[in-house]
């Protein structure tokens, strides 16, 4: 298995050194303390948000936009730093359920030491044998650990708006495909197309997928397409099929 992609190996107080020294005592110390309280909020605001979805074994999902600011996680009795703009920082901050981790490296107070952290459980679902948690960025399974500061593919960390999908893989190295639904407006609604993507990001049309837009439901044909009659306005579509990972919810405007 590849390294940690989910379960694959993914007197007077003194001012700190580098800060200006106090000449008047307490006022400067108090000012520094107040500034320190502001820093975490500023860091949160500066960190990009990503679209994250966590899909559990029973099929239910938790999807939201989350910050990717640096944080820390508990591993055994240790507290380990997790760098900003990493999938694990986003996951820890989103709190989708109890997070369980194992360290195959030597995590510490330095974010660069967290590359060996492995997610072994989210909420009620724990890794078992060749089954366990993995993550994708976009349509591809990551090739690095979720806290690796080199990024999911070793080419840089997460960027604003990227999609991160955590899901429970039923077979290591050959996970079930993840669904993506795209739409094209028609005179009476939309044509929805559903494709399923493997670990490498290769997609195929998915027949028999259920596409839902509120109370309207359609089933895809052999080409992965289904035409759906929808009223004018804003609709949200999601695709599901047993044995595959559901899609993100897509917003579509029908004229």
CB atoms within 10 A of CB 95: 10
- Rounded-to-integer distance, Cα 40 and Cα 101, Å: 24
**Per-residue pLDDT at 178:** 98
73 and 99 in contact (C-beta within 8 Å)? Answer: yes
Q: Which domains does the chain have, with CATH numbers?
A: 48-169 (2.170.130.30), 178-254 (2.60.40)
Q: What is the pLDDT along the chain (255 residues), one digit of tens a residue?
A: 444 444 554 533 333 333 333 334 444 333 433 333 334 444 455 789 999 999 999 999 999 999 999 999 999 999 999 999 999 999 999 999 999 999 999 999 999 999 999 999 999 999 999 999 999 999 999 999 999 999 999 999 999 999 999 999 999 889 999 999 999 999 889 999 999 999 999 999 999 999 999 999 999 999 999 999 999 999 999 999 999 999 999 999 998
- Rounded-to-integer distance, Cα 33 and Cα 153, Å: 39
**Per-residue pLDDT at 48:** 95
162 and 137 in contact (C-beta within 8 Å)? Answer: yes
182 and 166 in contact (C-beta within 8 Å)? Answer: no
- Rounded-to-integer distance, Cα 133 and Cα 7, Å: 5
**Per-residue pLDDT at 187:** 86
């Amino acid at each position: 298995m590849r390294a940690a992609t989910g379960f694959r190996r993914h007197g007077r107080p003194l001012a700190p050194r580098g800060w200006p020294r106090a000449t008047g005592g307490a006022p400067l110390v108090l000012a520094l303390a107040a500034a320190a309280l502001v820093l975490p909020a500023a860091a949160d605001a500066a960190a990009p948000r990503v679209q994250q979805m966590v899909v559990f074994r029973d099929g239910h999902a938790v999807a939201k936009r989350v910050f990717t600011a640096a944080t820390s996680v508990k591993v055994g009795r240790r507290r380990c730093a997790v760098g900003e703009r990493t999938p694990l920082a986003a996951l820890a901050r989103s709190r989708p359920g109890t997070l369980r981790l194992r360290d195959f490296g030597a995590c510490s107070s330095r974010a660069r030491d967290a590359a060996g952290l492995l997610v072994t459980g989210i909420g009620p679902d724990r890794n078992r044998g060749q089954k366990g948690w993995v993550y994708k960025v976009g349509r591809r399974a990551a090739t690095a650990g979720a806290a690796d500061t080199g990024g999911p593919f070793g080419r840089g960390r997460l960027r604003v708006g990227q999609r991160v999908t955590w899901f429970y893989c039923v077979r290591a190295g050959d996970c079930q495909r993840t669904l993506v639904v795209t739409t094209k407006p028609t005179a009476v609604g939309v044509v929805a197309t559903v494709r399923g993507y493997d670990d490498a990001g290769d997609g195929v049309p998915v027949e028999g997928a259920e596409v839902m837009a509120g109370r309207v439901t359609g089933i895809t044909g052999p080409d992965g397409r289904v035409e759906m009659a929808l009223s004018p306005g804003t609709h949200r579509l999601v695709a599901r099929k047993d044995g595959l990972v559901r899609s993100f919810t897509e917003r579509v405007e029908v004229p």
